Amino acid sequence: EENFHGYNFPPYSTGENKPMRGPSRRDIGHGNLAERALIPVLPSHDEFPYVIRLVSECMSSNGSTSMASTCGSTLALMDAGVPISAPVAGAAMGLISEPDGRFVVLTDILGKEDSVGDMDFKVTGTRDGITALQMDIKVQGINEAIIRGGLKQALAARLEILDKMTEVMPEARSDMSDFAPRIITIKINPEKIREIIGKG
């Protein structure tokens, strides 16, 4: 594996005072979602022969930090000079539903809306399509109209976020930092390897 995403959600990000131990199941799951969201746009090994390690450190939280991690990671990759094929953004859709079938899909839910709502539907993607999905629901099930509404609102939110992201970083930097490690490959005739490394 050449792509790693570390996601840290310390207690102080929600104003809590707890011991800081190893990553929780939630931390691992959110990191995996943000990691998978970016895999479709990463360059091939031949194009970019480096291991990529991203770390999202949540300083505060009142919404979807995994979606913020996806957006922040995209900007970090572009700023570092990684030639991704397209920027990726994400937003979390929520749901308020009634027993009689009425419902409202919420866009970019806050912590309270996540807590009292019936759904947390995270959608990431580029302008051209979806790269990752994750859904948690607290009701028995949802219908097609809810899914369609969620995807439609997620697209509108994603496009708006991508517009803001490309305002600050229209494209990936053409060169990596002078301080970044480099890999240089030299092809040698196998019969002459001993002239470089000795007889062994």
Domain of residue 46, CATH code: 3.30.230.70
Q: Is 131 part of any domain?
A: yes
Q: How far apart are CA 74 and CA 37, in angstroms?
A: 10
Partners of 134 in the β-ladder: 122
d(CA 12, CA 124): 26
Any domain includes 34: yes
Q: What is the rounded distance in angstroms from the CA atom of residue 136 to the CA atom of residue 193?
A: 57
Q: What is the pTM of this model?
A: 0.86
pLDDT digits (tens, 9 = 90+) for 95-145: 999 999 899 999 999 988 988 999 999 999 999 999 999 999 999 889 999
Average pLDDT over residues 43-71: 93
| 178 in any annotated domain | no
Domain range for 166: 3-173+183-197
Structural domain count, the chain: 1
pLDDT band at 200 (very low <50, low <70, confident <90, very high): low
Report the distance separating Cα 184 and Cα 200, nearest Å: 23
147 occurs within a structural domain: yes
The tens digit of pLDDT for each residue in 60-84 reads 988 899 999 999 999 999 999 999 9
> What element of type H or E holds 56?
strand 52-57
